A and B are shown apart, each in its own frame.
Chain A
């Protein structure tokens, strides 16, 4: 591990100005949507039962005392991780107690038995209209910002909360099962629309409250819409059933003067104009070299939105530190000089990346900043 992981202070205001493309000066900030507990534990030395993380991120109604205690530990771990690395923010998740289809846990023999949670692709809690009618939707009053309040009392100076919200299309897939959702999107789009509408009421209220929170600096909205070659559903469907809601969420965020960042995996070029012009996203996150290298996306859109992260997770998992340094520098050379860019992984810090590669990415960015007279 390098002596300094990235930097020893926190400057959310600089991060915000870079995201809003108000400056091309100053160091290139670092950003991640998420880090698996194993990564945060490796950085901080703090333990956490990683196999429980998904359950804590998506607390349902009536959490147990033990789950709440684990939630506190996870918040402490996130705070310690952000502080130790030198991120300008800490990610926190509002509690929106929607009952969700459970993840399927599976050990991977390629990872010494580490467990990963998988979305059930075939079954969900809402398979049809009868399930929808019986579904126990929480009210907006049940949304809790306890994580934001907690972080506010613990954050070091200069740091803000990045409120992470899992998107309504993500929840649609999870509630219906991907395959069922895909079929129903054609056979009964109104059913999907009604579920999205219920989810959107909660999402809009949560995003509005998060953005209004004094400790929150920005909202990171996570909505996977694509796969390697294109959108999962047609652009027409997405424009009719999803984009109008995203516009409302961005407005709820902007109402409080906070940036609205979008994470979406996959090739989503067909929707970029809608996302930039109609929704009004301030930044886009998640890039994979075999889909479209981040430099290409930066060239196309950096004059209108910020571009976040981009070192392919596959490289972080299977490459060498030298390869990661080389790739980090390649990306910086294209994306850093014009501003509106933050360095980070192409998706998230998964429990299967090599820590030395993560440190190499950070260290190369730190060196770049030093060479350019910053830090």
Chain B
């Protein structure tokens, strides 16, 4: 288990995948792999990023390794009836096609045991609303790079309100031009300066939801 954790931290995707298979074949509990090795590994990666010891490449590599391990683990977990902590819908807003930041949040949330419905880039308010209606997530995360594209966040929140869905979901926003005052102004619940802040916020929601 310790080796698996290290492999993820070091961003070794192929080795992570192989190690997960080995551990499963050796009869290890899949949920224990996730909770005792993989999630803590990503937790440490996030902390190293926040502490300024890891940078974007190390985060991306670790997230890629985590994904590789999860690909093996997910079907086994499903057979064991193990569930996710909760569901989050993520997307980059309409008119904006940059997604490194959004992808990092997505991977960090998945690394924390959440199921993420990633809508991709250039997502219209209608698509966000439809996804919230369909998936009933705990949280909706929107990302934008520019001062202009972030205006679409307000339209999405307004559209959620019009659809009667605003109170059913927590809305978190982030991205280069976004800041706390803007989040407040448009009626979002949370602004996160990075993926770890988003992870911690969603964890709070999970805890509150019991």
Contact = CB atoms under 8 A, between A and B. Distances in A.
Interface of A: 104, 106-111, 116, 118-119, 121, 178-179, 182-183, 185-187, 227-234, 237, 270, 288, 290, 313-314, 317-318, 352
A5 B95 CA distance: 33
A183 B122 CA distance: 24
B176 A183 contact: no
Contact of B100 (A106, A178, A187): A178
Contact of A109 (B56, B95, B97, B100): B95
Describe A's contact surface by its main secondary structure: mixed
Nearest to A351: B148
B149 A110 contact: yes
Given A182-B60, A352-B146, A230 B151 contact: no
B98 A109 contact: no
Contact of A233 (B57, B61, B122, B149): B57
Q: DSSP class of B's interface residues: helix, strand, loop or mixed? A: loop
A109 to B, nearest CB: 6
A289 to B, nearest CB: 8
A179 B95 contact: no
Given A121-B99, A179-B100, A229 B179 contact: no
B55 A234 contact: yes
B65 to A, nearest CB: 11
Contact of B55 (A104, A179, A233, A290): A233
A228 B193 contact: yes
A228 B57 contact: no
A119 B55 CA distance: 20
Interface string B131-174: 00000000000000011110110000000000000000000000
Contacts of A121: 98-100
Given A121-B98, A290-B177, A313-B177, 13 more contacts: A106-B96, A106-B97, A106-B122, A110-B94, A116-B146, A119-B98, A178-B100, A186-B61, A227-B176, A229-B193, A230-B55, A234-B57, A314-B147
B32 to A, nearest CB: 29
B27 interface: no
Nearest to A316: B147
Contacts of A270: 52
25 contacts: A104-B97, A106-B96, A106-B97, A106-B122, A108-B148, A109-B94, A110-B94, A110-B151, A116-B146, A118-B97, A119-B98, A178-B100, A179-B60, A182-B57, A186-B57, A186-B58, A227-B56, A227-B176, A237-B55, A314-B147, A314-B179, A317-B147, A352-B146, A352-B147, A352-B148
B118 to A, nearest CB: 14
A82 to B, nearest CB: 25
Nearest to A110: B151
Given A104-B97, A109-B95, A186 B11 contact: yes
B56 A182 contact: yes
B166 to A, nearest CB: 21
Contact of B95 (A110, A230, A237, A318): A110
A111 B61 contact: no
B143 to A, nearest CB: 12
A187 B176 CA distance: 27
Nearest to B191: A290
Contacts of B96: 106, 108
B194 interface: yes
Please indicate which of the listed interface residues A110, A270, A318, A352 has the most CB atoms of chain B within 10 Å of its own CB: A110
Contact of A107 (B95, B99, B147, B179): B95
A119 B97 CA distance: 9
Given A186-B58, A230-B52, A290-B179, A118 B98 contact: yes
